[in-house]
Structure 1
Amino acid sequence: MQLVVYILVYPILWFISLYPMRLLYFSSDVTCFFIHKVFGYRKKTVRENLNLVFPDKSEAEKKEIENKFYHHLCDMIFETIKSLSISEQELLKRFKPTNIDEVHSVINQNKSIVLMMAHYGSWEWIFVLQKYVDIKTHAIYKRIENKYFDRMVKRIRAKYNSFLITTKETVPVLQESKEKGELTLNGFVSDQSPKIRSAHHWQEFFKIKVPAYTGAEMMAKKLDMAVMFVAIKKIKRGYYEATFKTITLNPKEYKDYEITDIFLKLVEEQIKEAPEFYLWTHKRWKHRNSVPPEFQ
């Protein structure tokens, strides 16, 4: 059945990916109307999140964020489809680093990198950053249930020598690279909500205590990797900039979870600057009423 779905859907996605940008974003606008206004995709979650995070904003302000968010979400969907056929030249024009020298500086100190980022801006087109560095790039991701689409996504990333590895594969793959003496750049989208039974750390995120994903920090400490944060800024429709910040070259000097806390504060600052580009459909605060006594 998975193959049948893939055979039926893939040609449609490929055809859409060939749209010129103007038609692509027109399609995004039409899709946005149906997703937001007609079907109300996760509208309840979006509004609940905005009410939790921005209690002092007016209803009009939160409504404006909601509308802009859905437009951005649909842009992201179509930009992801565009990745199937977009040229390297076009992608490099649309997604640029502002301070890649910061990354080169860390690499020149013979350090592999754990790159922490949030579901903000464009986390799909960031794989083109591989073209700016000379070391292997990994992106840690959740495997797609349909194995054929999973392979498709891996092929897209591999065009730019950026490789997807699952959470279970992370330790052995990165350990092997370290044993070989290979430097690697490893991207972790670290703002998601972990399963509550496996949460080791709770921290305030917008003054609300939630479980925090600590895998990136623990990996950096285990393999002595530098930790960096990347902030994605949407310049205009279809154009993004990535700015890097070195959190530490020596993660073992930090107390457990301190790096994770720094990361969450940086994400907060990013969201406050332009909240419409965060993934508000994600149930980030769903465990807020289940804080274990030891973390209260």
Structure 2
Amino acid sequence: MHFLAYIIVYPILWLISILPFRLLYLISDGVYILLYHIIGYRKKVVTNNLKLVFPNKPEEEIFAIRKKFYKHLCDMFLEMAKTMSISKAELEKRFILKNPEEVRRLESANKSALFMYGHYASWEWSLQLQTQTSFPGFAVYKRLANKYFDKMVRDIRSKYNTTLISTKETVTKIAHNERKGIKSFMAFLSDQSPKLSKDVYWSEFMGVDVPCFTGAERLAKKLDLTMAYIKITKVKRGYYEAEIITFTESPKDYKDYELTDMFLREVEKQIHEAPEFYFWTHKRWKHRNKKPN
């Protein structure tokens, strides 16, 4: 069944990927009408999330943000498909690193760096950043249940000397590289909602207490890795900019969870600036009422 789904969907994605951008965004407009106005995909989740974190915004503004978000979501989905065939030159034109000198500086220190990402703007197209460095890149991801789609995703995201590693093999792989003297840049999407446990770290995110992933910070401290935030902004439709905001090259100098909180504050700033580009369909605040006393 998994293979059948793959052989049906893959040709469609490939055909979408070879379309010119003008036609791609016309299709995105149609998908938006279907997703938002007809199907109403996760509209309740999005609305509840927006009302929760923006309690003082009038309903009209909440609905306006919601519409803009769904338009961006459809664009991003089709841009992900476009990644299958987009040329390096085209991607470099559409996803620009504002401070490439910071890559040079981090490389010159001959030290591995851990880059934290939020689900904001276009984290998918950030694979272009790997073209800026000679260091091998590793991106942490959750394996897909369908092994054929999983391979497709790994192939797409591994275009420019980036290797995807599952969450379970992250520590082992990175520790092995460090022992061998292999310096690398690692990408972590760090704003998901973790499973609840007794010792999970809770922090305020957009005014709400939530459990937080701390794996990036713990790994950085264990292996003495540079920690940075990749700030991605949407300039206009189909065009993005990224900036490397380096937190520290000495993570052990910081108190536990301080770097995780620094990351959350950076994501919050972007959400307040342009909330429509955050991933509101994600149930980030689902555990908000479950904090132990």
So what's the TM-score if we normalise by structure 1? Answer: 0.97
- Counterpart of 1:274 in structure 2 is 274
List per-residue Cα deviations over 1:130-177 (Å, max 9, x = no partner): 100110011101111110111111111222111111101101110111
Shift of residue 81, structure 1, vs aligned partner: 0.5
Partner Cα distance (1:217, 1:107) in 2: 20
- Counterpart of 2:177 in structure 1 is 177
Query: How many residue pairs align between the two structures?
Result: 293
- Ranges in structure 2 where 5+ consecutive residues have no aligned partner: none
Identity of aligned residues (%): 53
User: What is the 5 A alignment of 1:208-219?
Assistant: 208-219=208-219
Partner Cα distance (2:280, 2:9) in 1: 27
- Counterpart of 1:255 in structure 2 is 255
Shift of residue 203, structure 1, vs aligned partner: 0.2
Asked whether the 8 Å contact 1:136–1:161 carries over to 2, the reply is yes
Partner Cα distance (1:81, 1:246) in 2: 30
- Counterpart of 1:140 in structure 2 is 140
Q: Give 2:21's aligned amino acid.
A: M
Shift of residue 199, structure 1, vs aligned partner: 5.6
Q: Give 2:267's aligned amino acid.
A: V
- Counterpart of 2:116 in structure 1 is 116
Shift of residue 107, structure 1, vs aligned partner: 2.0
Shift of residue 198, structure 1, vs aligned partner: 6.8
Shift of residue 8, structure 1, vs aligned partner: 1.4
From the superposition, tell whether residues 198 and 97 of structure 1 become closer, same or farther in structure 2 (CA, over 3 Å). Answer: farther
**SS of structure 2 residue aligned to 1:197:** coil
From the superposition, tell whether residues 78 and 46 of structure 1 become closer, same or farther in structure 2 (CA, over 3 Å). Answer: same
Q: Give 1:40's aligned amino acid.
A: G
Partner Cα distance (1:187, 1:106) in 2: 15
Partner Cα distance (2:201, 2:222) in 1: 17
- Counterpart of 1:194 in structure 2 is 194
**SS of structure 2 residue aligned to 1:196:** coil
- Ranges in structure 1 where 5+ consecutive residues have no aligned partner: none
Partner Cα distance (1:59, 1:39) in 2: 21
Q: Give 1:78's aligned amino acid.
A: L
Partner Cα distance (2:228, 2:12) in 1: 38
List per-residue Cα deviations over 1:175-198 (Å, max 9, x = no partner): 111011111100001001001127
Runs of 4+ aligned residues of structure 1 deviating over 6 Å after TM superposition are: none
Q: CA RMSD in A?
A: 1.0
Asked whether the 8 Å contact 2:103–2:132 carries over to 1, the reply is no
Partner Cα distance (1:157, 1:8) in 2: 21
- Counterpart of 2:105 in structure 1 is 105
